Amino acid sequence: MSFHTIVPAGGIGSRLWPLSRAARPKFLLDLGGEGASLLQRTVARLAPFAMSQTVVTGAAHAAAVREQVPTADILVEPSMRGTMPAIALAAELVRRRDPEAVVGSFAADHHIRDERAFGAALGSAIGAAEAGYVATIGIAPDSPSTAYGYIHAGNRLSAVAGIGEASGTGPVFDVREFVEKPDSARAARYLETGEFLWNAGIFVARASVLMEALERYHPEIAGPVRELAARWGDATLRAEAIEAFWKPLPVAVIDRAVAEPLSEDGGVVVVPADMGWSDIGDYESLARLLADAKGPRIAVDSPGSLSLASKPVAVVGIEGAVVVEMDDVVLVTTREAAQKVKEAREEAREAGLGSLL
């Protein structure tokens, strides 16, 4: 088994401002309070499976990433073009070294509590990838969330050789379709059917299969990426090729560019996993992870509150309060209003508080 990981590390996580900053994005933070950043935990979680690991990041964060995960290869994205070009470039570079390689892409800033369950699901996904599928790991939902896209699972593929229960890991299903973030009525129906899983953005496939699919659906991306990868090893050629091939690329995300059309063609499978997954997308999500451990020191009529501060915090009469006190700014909100924190970050920009971004 030749398995290689690709970890795009890009998003700031602006709904977690001011914990997350442009200069210190979410993936570099130890949000779980475990003595390791989300990126470090991601790389450590994958280490037992991976022959190599590539973190794809922007020039601004390359040094911080190198410091946090010295064992990983750093692929500095020439400029932001979304996850599809980034993953394709990393996959093609792996494929050129090892044509049989299986690659898996994983978000740098998600949290997984049950690493054993993750490992089992990954084993199934790698098995399916070796059999020629693009495999994703879908999260068994525990609530009718409207914050995630969903994966509609179809028939069980236990018959596929070498994958599913046969290998002692877990069942694999074909993917009927990927669906966008639903409204709450639809999310409730999804939860009821038991056929829908949250899309955690995990994709596992042979590098060759991924590139062939990209060639089929988006030759305008696949072609230039191959050209650039072929010149990547030589600094001079690389610089020219970035100008010629990367700069003109459209922005594209892997879900839309490959996973969705390929699922319609029967090429995508999903491994359901119940592994204590969280994208820690906002303070509601962070509070679910931490509130018991990080409640305010003093709370009067304020159940479910979260406090991250350098000194004691007292909350009075606010259910699910969120208090984040940092060197240079204090944020106060509620778990219910957590989605709007992004707007506060925008207001800070407009108020001339650029140093807080």
Q: How far is the CB of 13 from its own copies (least distance, A)?
A: 16
Calpha distance 319→123 (Å, rounded): 42
Using the minimum distance from each CB to its own copies, give the nearer residue, 75 or 299. Answer: 299
Report the residue number, 192 or 347, with the smaller CB distance to its own copies.
Answer: 347
Amino acid of residue 321: A
Task: Name which of 44 and 353 has its Cβ closer to its own copies.
Answer: 353
Which 10-49 positions form the footprint of its own copies (CB under 8 A)? 18
Nearer Cβ to its own copies, position 220 or 336? 336
318 alpha carbon, distance to own chain's centre: 32
Distance of CA 309 to the CA centre of its chain: 27
Burial of 167 (0-12, 13-18, 19+ CB in 10 A): middle
Q: State the minimum distance, in angstroms, from the CB of residue 146 to its own copies.
A: 17
Distance CA 220, CA 251 (A): 11
Unique residue bearing structure tokens 């009469």: 317
Q: Say whether residue 67 binds its own copies (CB under 8 A).
A: no
Q: Is 90 in the site for its own copies (CB under 8 A)?
A: no
Residue 77 gets the label, from left (phi > 0), alpha (psi -120 to 50) or beta, of: beta
Q: Is 211 or 308 the residue whose CB approaches its own copies more closely?
A: 308
- Residues near its own copies (CB under 8 A), total: 38
- Give the Cα separation of 345 and 357 in Å (integer): 7
Residues numbered 299 to 338 that lie near its own copies (CB under 8 A) are 299-301, 309, 311-318, 321, 323, 325, 327-334, 336-337
Q: Residue holding tokens 């108020």?
A: 351
Shorter beta-carbon distance to its own copies: residue 241 or 318: 318
Residue 200 in contact with residue 138, Cβ under 8 Å?
Answer: yes
Query: Angle at Cα 180 formed by Cα 176 and Cα 182, nearest 5°?
Result: 110
- The amino acid at residue 151 is I
Chain position carrying tokens 């990367």:
246
Going residue by residue from 160 to 179, which x/- string records binding to its own copies, judged by CB under 8 A? Answer: --------------------
Find the shortest distance in angstroms from Cβ 28 to its own copies. 21
Q: Is 341 in the site for its own copies (CB under 8 A)?
A: yes
Cα 98–266–258 angle (5° rounding)? Answer: 55
- 191 belongs to the binding site for its own copies (CB under 8 A): no
| Residue closer to its own copies, measured from CB, 53 or 334 | 334
**Site for its own copies contains 348 (CB under 8 A):** yes
Q: By C-beta, is 230 or 332 nearer to its own copies?
A: 332
Q: How far is the CB of 19 from its own copies (least distance, A)?
A: 12
Rounded to whole angstroms, the Cα distance separating 123 from 6 reads: 16
Interface residues toward its own copies, by CB under 8 A = 18, 296-301, 309, 311-318, 321, 323, 325, 327-334, 336-337, 340-341, 343-344, 347-348, 351, 353, 356
